[in-house]
Amino acid sequence: MTEGEGTDFKVQKDLLKEALMSDFSMSEIQQIWRQILTHFLSISPIEQISMGDHQFSLQESKIINGILKRLKNKEPFQHILGEIEFYGLELKSDPRALIPRPETEELVHWIVEETRTKPLNILDICSGSGCISLALSQAFQDAQVYGYELSRAAIDLSEENALALKLPVVFNCVDVLDIDEFTTSLKKQTKLGLLDIVVSNPPYIPCKEKEAIQELVLKHEPGMALFVPDEDPLLFYRSIAKGILPFLSTSGVLYFECHYLYLEDTRNLLLELGFTNVEKRKDLQGKWRMLKAQK
């Protein structure tokens, strides 16, 4: 790709298309282009409509080409932007935590639409960037929301997000696979009241699927957020479901995001552990992705 010097609008857009075509769909490229104009060049969406004859300045072209270089180097666009919208919230996004996914927004939406009485205590396990806990704190303003997460870097990011959004979520560093540490934290957390909603999107991709994962995910997102051992893909679900059972209120509900191939196994695990009314839900891609269970 040649460095654009005072490049014409259409030429610059075509250069971007050409450079990204092998990695992105046309609608993704269109979205990236619009966000570059809005976010980096401060050109409003209305102004963008009548820009056909615009000539980019050398400085503007440099900015666009710099972004293009990073995208070609397989850096996620959300990291370049430094932010992502999640369930109406603007969250900081960087390599410290997993980039929140659309199916996780669907899980949050399921919780919001199903919750009839005001929840008081909510726990998000494996909270990462804080996307789920912050969205629930925004939706249920009377609730105290907690997040458990093992990665210190992810906790720092979630705390920065909470501060920026002025949402009172409390994040704790807890290893949910260490049953003693997990139980001790739950005991402390529930002194003032049992949990009404527990939600988790834990790591659930077996290592054997690594080959099928995009390079930009492998290179730029934390492996500990994604992968589980091939021989025990339900590792997190078992520990979380067992651990939280005594700490759920009588009407308490557990929500999980799952790997579509292991959703039935996870459902059976919940039934074996004594959960009732276990419901499953597909994501917008048509894959079985979410579970809801009661005590």
Ligand X SMILES: C[S@@+](CC[C@H](N)C(=O)[O-])C[C@H]1O[C@@H](n2cnc3c(N)ncnc32)[C@H](O)[C@@H]1O
CB of 102 to ligand X, least distance (A): 11
220 to each of 88, 169, 203, how far by Cα in Å? 24, 26, 16
Chain-centroid distance, C-alpha 109:
13
Chain-centroid distance, C-alpha 81:
16
| Of residues 36 and 240, the one with the C-beta less far from ligand X | 240
**Phi, psi at 276, each rounded to 5°:** -125, 175
Question: Residues 6 or more apart from 216 whose CB is under 8 A from it?
Answer: 74, 75, 76
| Of residues 26 and 179, the one with the C-beta less far from ligand X | 179
Where does 167-275 have alpha helices with state H? 179-189, 215-220, 235-244, 263-272
| Of residues 13 and 259, the one with the C-beta less far from ligand X | 259
CB of 121 to ligand X, least distance (A): 18
CB of 198 to ligand X, least distance (A): 13
CB of 158 to ligand X, least distance (A): 9
Contact residues toward ligand X (CB under 6 A) are 97-98, 100, 104, 126-129, 131-132, 148-151, 154, 175-177, 201-203, 222, 224-225
CB of 104 to ligand X, least distance (A): 4
Rg (CA), the chain: 21
| Of residues 97 and 139, the one with the C-beta less far from ligand X | 97
| Of residues 61 and 158, the one with the C-beta less far from ligand X | 158
Cross-strand pairs, 197: 122, 253
